[in-house]
């Protein structure tokens, strides 16, 4: 859960690098939240357009910017520009390529986007209600 919260704290951080763990833990937690919210939407009977429910749609809007930010940083870790995300407009093939990029190990050492995130663990922030 800490990886997920780290991404949310850095929701406008499009610079730098994101390690695989940060990216994939964020994706897994998003999938779980989306599934749970979808179940709640169905139980309550909230439907918007098509199959999407109100809670799921609101969550999707809220998570949109953090997802793009971590996706940019993940590509930066593999020494790729975020322009590669334009491949997402190519159905299936583009998506597979981006998934493969996200699975690759980042470049060792510093690259043009910053220091290697594996060399030092990311700072842990305490989440408090204060």
Q: What is the per-residue pLDDT across 24-81, written as a single tens digit (0 to 9) for each?
A: 999 999 999 999 999 998 888 877 666 778 899 999 999 999 999 999 999 999 999 9
pTM over 0.75: yes
Residue 121 confidence (pLDDT): 61
Domain boundaries, the chain: 2-103
Joined tokens for residue 102? 């996200």
Contacts for 51 with CB less than 8 Å, ≥ 6 apart? none
Contact yes or no for 65/7 (Cβ under 8 A)? no
Alpha-carbon distance 59 to 61, whole Å? 5
More confident residue, 21 or 127: 21
Residue 32 confidence (pLDDT): 96
Joined tokens for residue 113? 């986007």
Q: What is the per-residue pLDDT across 80-100, written as a single tens digit (0 to 9) for each?
A: 999 999 999 999 999 999 999
């Amino acid at each position: 859960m800490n990886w997920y919260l780290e991404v949310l704290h850095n929701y406008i951080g499009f610079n730098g690098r994101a390690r695989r763990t940060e990216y994939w833990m964020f994706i897994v937690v998003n999938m779980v939240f989306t599934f749970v919210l979808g179940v709640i939407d169905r139980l309550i009977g909230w439907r918007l357009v098509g199959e999407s429910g109100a809670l799921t749609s609101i969550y999707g809007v809220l998570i949109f910017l953090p997802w793009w930010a971590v996706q940019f940083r993940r590509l930066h870790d593999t020494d790729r520009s975020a322009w590669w995300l334009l491949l997402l407009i190519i159905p299936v093939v583009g998506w597979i390529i981006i998934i493969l990029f996200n699975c690759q190990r980042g470049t060792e050492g510093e690259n043009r986007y910053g220091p290697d995130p594996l060399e030092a663990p990311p700072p842990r922030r305490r989440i408090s209600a204060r």
